[in-house]
Structure 1
Amino acid sequence: MLFVDGNGILHPRGVGLASHIGVCSDMPTVGVAKKLFHVDGIMRDEKHHEKVRQLNGKGDSFALLSTDGSVLGKAVLSGPGCSNPVYVSVGHRMGLDTAVKLVVACSKYRIPEPVRLTFALESTFEPLSAMVKQE
């Protein structure tokens, strides 16, 4: 199972990075985004902000519904003391409720540990451009 820093079906094209990686690798994937895309009637308006304010603690969430009523993802308070949700959507071979449970279970802070640790490791690597011989 892979967590992807990006979206699954909660994407303007319905297929975000988590969906693409999941299909290409044939692995279960979950999209965990820090920002909400404006998708099919879902937007960060006052109604959205009010729903966020009603979330109480770790694990609280609300569905992100498209204009036709389809659930494209969930806004989730993933860590203790978080006030900003992450936006969870399925990528491939994963149900949304399971994806949300996994994100919450793997989160000490706002971002799930597998994604957060990847950010930390990323800063220790030499950029690819520096490794490629310039001619």
Structure 2
Amino acid sequence: MKSNFLKKSFVAFFMLFAIATSFGQENKKNQKAVIKTSISCDHCKECETCGANFQSNMLKIKGVRMYELDEKEMTITVYYNATKTDLQTIKTAISKLGYDADDVKADVAAYDKLDNCCKKA
């Protein structure tokens, strides 16, 4: 009887441990990062060329699930899968769109392609 109880207790403990471990890994997989950028206009999201280019290319970055551009705070909040990409890759991709991304400066050629209203004054 005591042996049967120990077996059931061990199985229950093992199952709880496995469930807790899987939830912990799921949280590490999905990440959120707030990236400081430089936005010179108040309509970048709606800008016919820059906004559309930014929108379509941000979601092409492997692992990026969603992003939010805050023009007033000059930040980009990125939600991404850390098993598919990392923060440095995302910052480099933003740079290639013509925008600064924290310490990664905007790619010069991409910046030159932005509309004048979206460039620093």
Which structure has the higher relative contact order (CA within 8 Å, separation 6+)?
2
Report the TM-score range of the alignment, normalised by the length of the smaller protein.
under 0.3
With the length of structure 2 as denominator, give the TM-score of the two structures: 0.27
Q: Which structure's CA Rg is the greater one?
A: 2
With the length of structure 1 as denominator, give the TM-score of the two structures: 0.25
